[in-house]
Amino acid sequence: MTDNLFKPFALNDSIQLKNRIVMAPLTRCMADDNLVPTQAMANYYAKRADSGLIITEATIIRPDGQGYPNTPGIFSSEQIKGWRKVTQAVHDKGGKIFLQLWHTGRVAHPYFFDGEYVLAPSAERIDDSVPRMRELTYTTPKPASIPEIQQLVQDYVQAAKNAMRAGFDGVEVHGANGYLIDQFLHHDANKRTDEYGQTPENMSRFALQIVDQIAQNIGWEKTALRISPGAYFNMTGDERDRDVFEYLLAQLEKRNLAYLHMGLFDDSMKFDYLSGSATDFVRKNYSKTLMGVGGYNAQTGSEAIEQNRFDLLAIGRPFIANPDYIGKLQSGETLTEYNDEMLAELV
């Protein structure tokens, strides 16, 4: 029984989702060379408009946020125009769509934006290279100065405003998976000794400034956040990180995000310093709308909602393999299995 997935869900007074299945944000590296969304991307998203909500692939807020080839942007008027095609196509099919706002921080590479360095909280390099471009080794980032941090916050806000101009129903701030915002939230990447480092309050400051200032401009009902309390991607966990996320969640509890989204590839992962799964840790510390994700199917996701582990279910890879995922669930048709080769093409 998966009936609970097909019940409408109100994110708030202004946004009603027709079901509880959300298309997870999925980087596809298919924007054009000016990082403009294409007609093929509009078609791809429109095919998935029968989900309760689409969250777009991560979209960079400014050039130095880029860490992978052909990831779309939301900082030029051409990009805004390209996204308008996408939102129009999704809305024409009766769907809802949020834009995921991204800066990769130390996971960026100067190669992509012809720059000299990348910005991050501290000069902590990741010992790896860019996926699918292994000749590009990550560089030691430049620790962002206070004015540079303030500019970054402003650029997130501008990107959110641009998203509104492009017709999105809201934005999800990408605070997960080891990228810039997450780098402030974990001791592995944040060694600062100023008001953005060392203590849970300081380490949470950047994330909270971004969501607060975006919400001031576009409204809390349109502002969402994705976080990864458990480090697993481009990041090493530290037991002190728990205090940071307890503080952050207590602060978020006082606000009215549209939803909070888990940044996870696999929700069966356990984290010692969180005493179990990251999702259960967040649920314990945060009572508002929570979106779960990571290795679920309709059955296991429906059970997790039934058990009150989270409220909305995000589905990633199966949506790449099955544009008509929702229709197939409803008709009981067999789903196509995802494999990595499917990333080569937008279907």
Q: Which residues are catalytic?
A: 179
Nearest position to ligand 8K6, beta carbon:
27
283 binds, among ligand FNR, ligand 8K6, none (CB under 5 to 8 A by kind): none
124 binds, among ligand FNR, ligand 8K6, none (CB under 5 to 8 A by kind): none
68 binds, among ligand 8K6, ligand FNR, none (CB under 5 to 8 A by kind): ligand 8K6
57 binds, among ligand 8K6, ligand FNR, none (CB under 5 to 8 A by kind): ligand FNR
Which residues within the stretch 119-138 sit at the binding site for ligand 8K6 (CB under 6 A)? 131
DSSP 47-77: TTTTSSEEEEEEEESSGGG--STT--BSSSH
Residue 186 vs residues 123, 176, 183, 228, 229: alpha-carbon distances, Å: 14, 11, 6, 10, 8
Residue choice 19, 177, 204, 289 for contact with ligand 8K6 (CB under 6 A): 177
294 binds, among ligand FNR, ligand 8K6, none (CB under 5 to 8 A by kind): ligand FNR
**Is 27 one of the binding residues for ligand 8K6 (CB under 6 A)?**
yes
Residue 280 vs residues 232, 235, 276, 289: alpha-carbon distances, Å: 16, 20, 7, 13
**E strand or H helix at 158, and its extent?**
helix 146-165
Q: Please tell me the distance from the alpha carbon of residue 281 to that of residue 283, in angstroms, as a whole number.
A: 6
**Is 319 one of the binding residues for ligand 8K6 (CB under 6 A)?**
no
Q: Show contacts of 296-299: CB within 8 Å, 24+ apart.
A: 296/267, 298/2, 298/5, 298/21, 298/329, 299/2
Nearest distance from C-beta of residue 263 to ligand 8K6, angstroms: 9
Q: Please tell me the distance from the alpha carbon of residue 166 to that of residue 197, in angstroms, as a whole number.
A: 35
- The two structure tokens encoding residue 181: 């915002």
- For 302-335, letters b (16+ CB in 10 Å) and e give bebbeeebbbbbbbbbbbbebbbbbebbeeeeee
Report the residue number, 25 or 69, with the smaller CB distance to ligand FNR: 25
- Tell me which residue of 153, 169, 132, 167 sits closest to 37, measured CA to CA: 167
Nearest distance from C-beta of residue 265 to ligand FNR, angstroms: 5
Report the residue number, 11 or 22, with the smaller CB distance to ligand 8K6: 22
Q: How many residues of this chain bind ligand 8K6 (CB under 6 A)?
A: 8
**Is 327 one of the binding residues for ligand 8K6 (CB under 6 A)?**
no
Nearest distance from C-beta of residue 71 to ligand 8K6, angstroms: 8
Residue choice 9, 44, 68, 286 for contact with ligand 8K6 (CB under 6 A): 68
- Tell me which residue of 180, 288, 191, 290 sits closest to 240, measured CA to CA: 191
Report the residue number, 28 or 222, with the smaller CB distance to ligand 8K6: 28
Residue choice 6, 111, 265, 338 for contact with ligand 8K6 (CB under 6 A): 265
Task: Give me the residues that bind ligand FNR (CB under 6 A), please.
Answer: 24-27, 57-58, 100, 174, 176-177, 226, 263-265, 293-296, 315-317, 343
Report the residue number, 57 or 124, with the smaller CB distance to ligand FNR: 57
- Tell me which residue of 257, 114, 240, 256 sits closest to 175, measured CA to CA: 257
Q: Are 204 and 248 in contact (CB under 8 A)?
A: yes
298 binds, among ligand 8K6, ligand FNR, none (CB under 5 to 8 A by kind): none
